[in-house]
């Protein structure tokens, strides 16, 4: 419980959210973070080695 109270103090939720505005693109900070996380996950999914892939290729 104390952890979540501390987390709540770090991320104040009682005011209007932060928004980014570039031309026609209008994004909230939270949505921007999610999009960046999805891009990072996508790149990691392509680049990160899959466990056991090498041994499977050798097996074949």
Partner 1 sequence: MSTTEIDRQWTTRLRQRATGKLPPEKLLPDTQPTYVASWIYVFGVATLAALIMVIVTGCILAIRGPLWWHGSVYGHFVNSLHLWSVEIFFFTMIVHLWGKFFMAAWRGGRTLTWMTGVVTFLASIATAFTGYASQTNFDSQWITTQAKDGINATGAGAYFNVLNLGQMLMWHIVLLPLAAVVLTALHVLLVRVKGVVPPFAEKVEVHS
Which residues in this chain contact partner 1 in the complex, by CB under 8 A? 34, 37-38, 41-42, 44-46, 48, 50, 52-53, 56-57, 60
What is the smallest separation between the CB atom of 39 and partner 1, expressed in angstroms?
Answer: 9
E strand or H helix that includes residue 43: helix 29-47
Output the DSSP codes for 14-40: SSPPPEEEETTEEEEHHHHHHHHHHHH
Give the nearer residue to partner 1 in terms of CB position, either 2 or 48. 48
3-state DSSP call for residue 13? coil
What is the smallest separation between the CB atom of 26 and partner 1, expressed in angstroms?
Answer: 14
């Amino acid at each position: 419980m104390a952890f979540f109270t501390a987390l709540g103090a770090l991320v104040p939720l009682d005011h209007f959210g932060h928004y980014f505005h570039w031309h026609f693109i209008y994004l909230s900070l939270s949505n921007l973070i999610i999009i960046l996380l999805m891009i990072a996950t996508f790149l990691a999914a392509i680049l990160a080695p899959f466990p056991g892939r090498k041994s499977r290729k050798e097996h074949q």
